[in-house]
């Protein structure tokens, strides 16, 4: 099988809190006024990505993995995860505040849901003036204090708010209470998991007039109640270089702001490479083929590639590996 750089059909998700920026800013083919998510690269059951370019157009990501797991995933990734693609890539548009939520760790997720946990990171692509994120508590709280705040409808008083702008980056480890605020458009990189414990939803109702399900009891033992300043990611923005952003057990992400061509020697990289375009445009070339990428698009470069050439005069990329 000829494994070339792949683009995939976006999987578009309507959400109560979604808007139209995925179309207006990123050019996604949305028809709804409440589209909140574009899943760019997914192996979540029921939402498996389909190739959009080249000879394998129409083939699912899982079919490619099944036919050549080491070629696509890389030897180390295959040994660790088998044929399960370990990363889920999204763009998210929050016209309204998302629900306040958290995600379980691997151990709890495996025990309760037979799933990976959900460690994730956010890169802010666009933010309305004054837009913010909720990340963690603003003080150490006890389980009892937290539970009482839910009863008294005072949870918001315990939360930490972070005003954001383009380029701000956050690492959300499991157990951390969080929410994306209204007016934020971001790129999300996460473990392959769709397990979310929703704890507060501003008492909103869906289109049928129903309150959305909360996961109050499940969240109690999954939550980190300590105040921690471990979420804001500081990173270099050196031009025409590979700048480290996040290096955790589940994924590694680098930032590239290029005004000229760059060649990456990946012959010894035993992992696939994901390139998310968060600004500008480029052509991504390997020995097996090439593909153009622009803001709001994502390319998966198979692990058996030995060199990735990025040809551009202006592009901003997030590079993700395992």
3 state SS for the chain:
CCCCCECECCEEEEEEEEECHHHHCCCCCCCCCCEEEEEEECEECCEECEECCCCCCCCEHHHHHHHCHHHHHCHHHHHHHCCCCCEEEEEEEECCCCCEEECCCHHHHHHHHCCCCCCEEEEEEEECCCCEEEEEECCCCCHHHHHHHHHHCCHHHHEEEEECCCCCEEEECCCCCEEECCCEEEEEEEECCCCCEEEECCCCECCCCCECCCCHHHHHCCCCCCCCCCCECCCCCCECCCEEEEECCCCEEEEEEECCCEEEECCCCCCCEEEEEEEEEEEEEECCEEEEEECCCEEEECCCCCEEEEEEEEEEEEEEEC
* 70 labelled ligand-binding: no
Catalytic residue among 112, 198, 205, 269: 198
Q: Is 198 a catalytic residue?
A: yes
* 113 labelled ligand-binding: no
* 120 labelled ligand-binding: yes
What residues are labeled active site?
198
Which residues are annotated as part of the binding site for Zn(2+)? 103, 120, 178
């Amino acid at each position: 099988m000829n494994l070339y750089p792949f683009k995939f059909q976006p999987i578009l998700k309507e959400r109560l809190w979604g808007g139209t920026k995925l179309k207006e800013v990123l050019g996604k083919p949305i028809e709804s006024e409440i589209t909140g998510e574009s899943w760019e690269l997914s192996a979540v059951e029921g939402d498996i990505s389909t190739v959009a370019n080249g000879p394998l157009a129409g083939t699912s990501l899982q079919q490619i993995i099944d036919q050549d797991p080491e070629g696509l995933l890389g030897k180390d990734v295959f040994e660790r995860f088998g044929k399960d693609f370990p990363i889920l890539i999204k763009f998210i548009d929050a016209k309204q505040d998302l629900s306040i939520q958290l995600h379980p760790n691997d151990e709890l997720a495996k025990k309760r849901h037979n799933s990976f946990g959900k460690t994730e990171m956010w890169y802010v692509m666009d933010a309305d003036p004054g837009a913010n994120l909720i990340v963690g508590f603003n003080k150490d709280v006890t389980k009892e204090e937290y539970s009482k705040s839910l009863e008294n409808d005072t949870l918001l008083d315990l939360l930490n708010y972070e005003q954001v702008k383009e380029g701000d980056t956050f690492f959300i480890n499991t157990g951390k209470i969080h929410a994306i605020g209204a007016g934020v458009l971001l790129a999300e990189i996460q473990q392959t998991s769709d397990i979310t414990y929703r704890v507060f939803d501003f008492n909103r109702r869906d289109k049928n007039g129903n309150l959305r399900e909360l996961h109050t009891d499940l969240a109690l033992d999954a939550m980190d109640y300590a105040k921690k300043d471990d979420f804001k990611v500081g990173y270099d923005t050196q031009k025409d270089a590979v700048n480290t952003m996040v290096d955790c057990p589940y994924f590694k992400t680098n930032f590239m702001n290029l005004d000229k061509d760059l060649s990456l020697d990946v012959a010894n990289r035993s992992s696939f490479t994901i390139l998310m375009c968060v600004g500008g445009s480029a052509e991504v070339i390997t020995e097996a083929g090439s593909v153009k990428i622009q803001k709001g698009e994502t390319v998966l470069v198979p692990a058996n590639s030995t060199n990735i050439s990025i040809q551009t005069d202006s592009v901003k990329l997030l590079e993700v590996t395992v």
